[in-house]
Each structure stands twice: as C-alpha cells, then as structure tokens.
Structure 1
Amino acid sequence: MNLLRVRGGGQLGRHRHASPVYGYVLKGTWRYLEHDWVAREGMFIYEPPGEIHTLVVEEGAEPMITMFHVLGSVIYYDENDQPIGHDDVHVKLGLARAHYEKVGLGAGVAEALIR
C-alpha cells in the first residue's frame, strides 16, 4: 500500500503495471490522459495490468490523496512506448536504505521494516 499525494497539480510519467492495481481516492480529484473519466473523493479505482496510462492532477485543483495497492512492478515509457525505467519493491527498499543512511539513521532502519 502507498499513499500518493499531489499538491498544486502534477503528472506522473507514462507507465503500466505488471499486475492489477487497486486505489481509493481519499481527497481531491485526478484523471488519466488516456481516458475521459475523473477519479473523485470516495471512488474505488481498478487498473488492469498492461495498460499504459498517465495520471494527472490539474493545476489549481485541491490537493489529491489516493491510497494505491500496487501488486508488482511499474514500468515507465517514453512517448514512443519504449520502456525507460521501472519501479518495484526492491527499488523502493534501496531508496529507503540510502535515505536512512544519508540522514544518519543507518540503512538498518529499512531492514527493521521488513518482516
């Protein structure tokens, strides 16, 4: 599970998921450039695996918070549908280790979060 918060408008890079994604909008609104619907507070969202999409929060919109349950990796794409990067639990754990080390807590703090 993760909480995505966007303030002041923004856009996530084009991406797709290797597995299903479930979301629940806690606050605000957002949409995908590739669809004509808008996700609003209180809505449940299902993202099928394999579809490339771009999440957008409009400029001037109230801050958005959505809880996502992402199962598996996220693959990022350029405008020609060529893969340009990925994100998964191992990437996030590596970033957490580096952050805790940088702020002086030590990478072991990240290890304590893993059962």
Structure 2
Amino acid sequence: MTGSTHQLASPEIAINAIPTDDRIWVPQAPNVFFRPLFLNTLTGQWCNLLKVTKSGVLSRHVHPAPVFGFVLKGSWRYLEHDWVAEKDSFVFEPPGEIHTLTVPDDCDEMITLFNISGCMVYLDEDNKQVGYEDVFTKIDMCRAHYEENGLGGDYVDQFIR
C-alpha cells in the first residue's frame, strides 16, 4: 500500500510455554519464578506462567483490573476463600478484591498461567501498599535476569508488544 500510513499488526507470539531452559524462569521471590509469555506496554497487560517450588504464603495483593488464571500443575488457594485451584482449574479474579495466595503443604510445585492487566499492588496486614508490579517492572526484572544469566538483556524483547 504505497503512501499508506497504516501500520502492520504486531507479530504473533507462538512459543513453547514451559521452557526446557531453566534460565528463562525469572526469580520473583524466594522459590517463586515467572516465565514471561506476553508483555504489552501499550495496554499494561502481561501474561506469564507463575511457578512456585515451595509451599506457603506468596503474597497478599490486589488488582485494579480483572485477572484470569489457568492451573497447569499443582494447586493453590486464597486464604480469603474456601475453594482450591487445582490442575486444569480456571480462575477469574474480580478487580479490587484483596487476596492472599498460598500453596498447600502437599504441593511441591505449582505452575499457573496468569493473564493480568494493570498492576499488582502488594499489601501488608493493614492494607498498606508495600510494593507493586506492572508490565514495566516485569520487563526490568526479565532484562536484568537474562543479562545476568547469559541469555542477554534483549532476550525479553521477543515478548514485548
């Protein structure tokens, strides 16, 4: 289209979600890792796998936008609810709900696909903000981790749209 100002769509992403190279998992906290799948800097959306390799409480947090999850391995729950998300479970989290993610004692590894828009705001017991994550902090974490482990800081660029 000569003379057109139309832009082509961003390229698709088609990858093996669960990597064979452990260096792709980005450490987020002790025994907590994420694998980026899609990082959208225009809308603030990100999609990743969350992997937890030890039981216990991960975080207390709130999302200002809906979150969608699908459990691939293991199980987890929110202390504020009586349901348990097990393998093949779909989870919808409404915006504004405060919850505390925990992995049960009988689970040695949990992997869940999460699709998140906006940010995660980490809270203490008094509902005071103690931290946050958004697509940009996720990119920064990936870039630093990949630079340090030999994949190169630009490895994360393939997931950014």
TM range (shorter): 0.7 to 0.9
If you compute each CA radius of gyration, which structure gives the higher value, 1 or 2? Answer: 2
1:27 CA drift (Å): 1.7
Unaligned runs of 5+ in 1: none
- Per-residue deviation, residues 35-64 of structure 1 (Å, max 9, x unmatched): 111112111100001111011111232422
User: 2:72 matched to which residue of 1?
Assistant: 26
Kindly indicate whether residue 90 of structure 2 is the aligned counterpart of residue 60 of structure 1.
no
**Matches for 1:97-112 after TM superposition, within 5 Å:** 97-112=143-158
Question: 2: distance between equivalents of 1:66 and 1:37?
Answer: 16
Q: How does 1:44-55 map to 2 (within 5 A)?
A: 44-55=90-101
User: Quick one: distance in 2 between partners of 1:17 and 1:39?
Assistant: 18
User: CA distance change for structure 1 residues 48 and 107 in 2, over 3 Å: closer, same or farther?
Assistant: same
Q: Percent identity?
A: 51
Deviations 1:16-43 (A, max 9, x none): 1111000111122211001111112111
- TM-fit CA distance, 1:105: 5.0
- 2:61 matched to 1:12? no
The answer to whether structure 1 residue 71 and structure 2 residue 111 are counterparts is: no
Shift of 1:79: 0.6
Q: CA deviation at 1:104?
A: 4.8
In structure 2, runs of 5+ residues without a counterpart are 1-46
Aligned length: 115
CA contact (8 A) 1:25 1:67 kept: yes
Q: Measure how far apart 1:112 and its partner are.
A: 4.8
8 A contact 1:8–1:60 mirrored in 2: no
Aligned to 1:85: 131
| 1:95 matches 2:141 | yes
Cα distance 1:106–1:25, how it changes in 2: closer, same or farther (>3 A)?
Answer: closer
Structure 1 pair 79/107, CA: closer, same or farther in 2 (3 Å)? same
Q: Matches of 1:7 and 1:112 in 2, distance apart?
A: 26
Question: RMSD of aligned C-alpha atoms?
Answer: 1.7
TM-score by length of 1: 0.87
Moved more, 104-113 or 65-74: 104-113
